Amino acid sequence: MRKAFTTLLAIILACTCAQAQLRINTSSPLSKLNMAVMAIKNLYVEEVDQEKLTEDAIKGMLEKLDPHSTYSNAKEVKQMNESLEGSFEGIGVQFNIMEDTLVVLQTISNGPSEKVGIIPGDRIVLVNDTAIAGVNMSREDIMHRLRGPKGTKVELKIVRQGIKGLLPFTVIRDKIPVYSIDASYMIRPGIGYIRIGNFGATTYEEFMKAMAKLSGEGMKDLIIDLQDNGGGYLQASVMLINEFLDKGDMIVYTEGRSTPRRDYVADGSKTFDGRVVVLVNEYSASASEITAGAFQDQDRGLIVGRRTFGKGLVQRPIDFEDGSMIRLTIAHYYTPSGRCIQKPYTKGDKKDYVSDIDKRFRNGEMTNADSIHFADSLKYHTLRKNRVVYGGGGIMPDYFVPLDTVKYTKFHRQLSAKSHIINANLRYIDEHRKELQKKYKTFEEFNAQFEVPQSMVDGIIEKAAADNIKPKDDEELALTLPYLKTQLKALIARDLWDMNEYYHVFNETNDIVKKGIELLQQ
């Protein structure tokens, strides 16, 4: 190989015209790749971006493999890790963009912005003397200017309603926590509810804190909501499941061509004996499916919802010095009964793979459990009650809940897609925040008494009509309004309190959640 490389280098150095030809024979694929890169670098007619060329080559190789072997550049890796590792460094505000201006929705409790006196409703217009309002700056660029290393300063100029001129604030950036538990509360007497957004580095700690809180409030049974949870760290899922199983119970195992089998087994430190319902849907994937599969195979809990995504592949991160990373599939994971729940795929055909959810909808699977068919070869049995379960394509719930296509009208989907709902919420909370805070001292008062004003709904319909978005007829409008009003109330609750209150409101319209409650109340 060294001789071939030396020969190649000599030829490259000797080349003085575009007609120079490179003819090197080698049987090593790696040598062939290295020579191709060197040839392009030194002989190609124009200058090339070597970094992009290398990244494209890596992506090209991975695209011929399974759908979950991927390459991420340093920027993408950083963004991906923030949600999983539980923190990022910044000023500590939740914001949204309204009419090309950043509006603070919430400040992180005891965070950098709250400490200096920034409040919800403030508009950040200058960051280090650079205008970010009225200049059509992208959300990504704004976040880049606000975030930075812990301990660094950022100078902000803020517009506050009722105060003339710009208010100056100096904020010292700090670690800002990112929580993976979206909500935890007593959804019914004796029934606790915990929604997990993803499985990250802090998930287990957050989950146990939520469990302790709910137990103190009288929890006997538990709903674990994994709807739309795309997964995360395997170990976070394993640690959580360990709290519900007896010593020696299998949680999951992994095995690959060059990766020996590894068993994950409960260690006997179980802390909860109550009944459990796990909620899933078509976007519950990876670590969510490990969790649901373990509860189902061990007959430890009931799975409610719709068939999960079907990701049963284990990726190993391979880090590069520049911060970029390959996530390479090295094994399959298997549920306690031996099921591999990875759905079928064709190597190199990601388009077909990602369109699987659409195909399920077209085939009627989302609305009718009888449309789901499994081959007998995929049949397995649970470990205690010997119930039939299936592998080869996600976790099929014990209780199927169809998608309510009547509730999610075309008119509502158009309102959402064109941001009419979120924009109306931003305007309303911006204009009425103080009034609402004065009237509703607690979320319980708000939840019991607040009704979305008709003027807010009329405003949405009026602005949508100006955008040529209209209901097909009065019937579609009537079908849209109840869900729309619940969504608006939940968004207002979120902006006055937090995501916990959002789900408190919104879950009362979620058919999968309601089915979970029904099963535990029987």
Of 234, 233, 187, give the one whose Cα is nearest residue 210. Answer: 187
- The H-or-E segment that residue 170 falls in is strand 167-172
pLDDT at 359: 87
Least Cα distance to 380 among 293, 255, 251, 266 occurs for: 293
Whether 311 is catalytic = yes
Which residues are CB-neighbours of 172 under 8 A, at least 6 positions away? 112, 151, 152, 153
Selecting among 315, 337, 342, 487, the annotated active-site residue is 315
Q: What is the pLDDT of residue 492?
A: 96
Concatenated DSSP letters of 466-508? HTT---SSHHHHHHHHHHHHHHHHHHHHHHHS-HHHHHHHHGG
Would you call 437 a catalytic residue per the annotation? no
Please answer whether residues 312 and 324 qualify as being in contact, where contact means their C-beta atoms are separated by less than 8 angstroms: no
* Rounded distance between C-alpha atoms, residue 361 and residue 182, angstroms: 27
Q: Which residues contact 402 (CB under 8 A, 6 or more apart)?
A: 306, 366, 367, 368, 369, 511
User: How high is the pLDDT of residue 371?
Assistant: 81
Phi, psi of 280, deg, nearest 5:
-140, 160
464 and 470 Cβ atoms separated by less than 8 Å: yes
Write down the pLDDT at residue 270. Answer: 96
Using alpha carbons, list the distances in angstroms from residue 178 to 92, 148, 182, 488. Answer: 10, 16, 10, 24
List the alpha helices (DSSP H) in 325-473: 350-354, 356-362, 410-417, 420-439, 443-449, 454-466
Helix 474-496 / helix 420-439 crossing angle, nearest 10 deg: 50
Say whether 286 is catalytic. Answer: yes
Indicate which residue of 311, 324, 487, 515 is catalytic.
Answer: 311
Q: Please spell the DSSP secondary structure of 228-280, one letter per residue.
A: T---B-HHHHHHHHHTTS-TT-EEEEEE-SSS--EEEE--S-----S-EEEEE
Judged by DSSP in three states, 192 sits in strand
What is the C-alpha to C-alpha distance for residues 66 and 256, in angstroms, rounded to an integer?
A: 14
Quick check: helix, strand or coil at residue 167? Answer: strand
Alpha carbons 202 and 219: distance in angstroms, whole number: 23
Q: Identify the active-site residue in 69, 180, 286, 342.
A: 286
Using an 8 Å Cβ cutoff, are 502 and 490 in contact? yes
Task: Find out whether 228 and 513 touch, Cβ atoms under 8 Å.
Answer: no
DSSP at 75:
H
* pLDDT the model gives residue 176: 85
Q: What is the pLDDT of residue 54?
A: 83
SS (H, E, C) 269-328: CCCCCCCEEEEECCCCCCHHHHHHHHHHHCCCCEEEECCCCCCCEEEEEEECCCCCEEEE
Instruction: Say which residues have a Cβ less than 8 Å from residue 419's Cβ, sequence separation at least 6.
Output: none
Rounded to whole angstroms, the Cα distance separating 284 from 293 reads 12
DSSP 340: B
pLDDT tens digits for range 274-326: 999 999 999 999 999 999 999 999 999 999 999 999 999 999 989 988 889 99
Q: Which residues contact 309 (CB under 8 A, 6 or more apart)?
A: 230, 282, 283, 284, 285, 286, 289, 343, 357, 394
pLDDT at position 83 is 66
Extract the residue ranges of the chain whose pLDDT is less than 50. 1-24
β-pair partners for 102: 97, 124
Cβ–Cβ contacts within 10 Å for residue 475, how many? 10
Name which of 284, 308, 291 is nearest 365 in CA terms: 308
How deeply is 472 buried, as exposed, middle or buried, from its count of CB atoms within 10 A (0-12, 13-18, 19+)?
exposed
102 Cα distance to chain centroid: 23
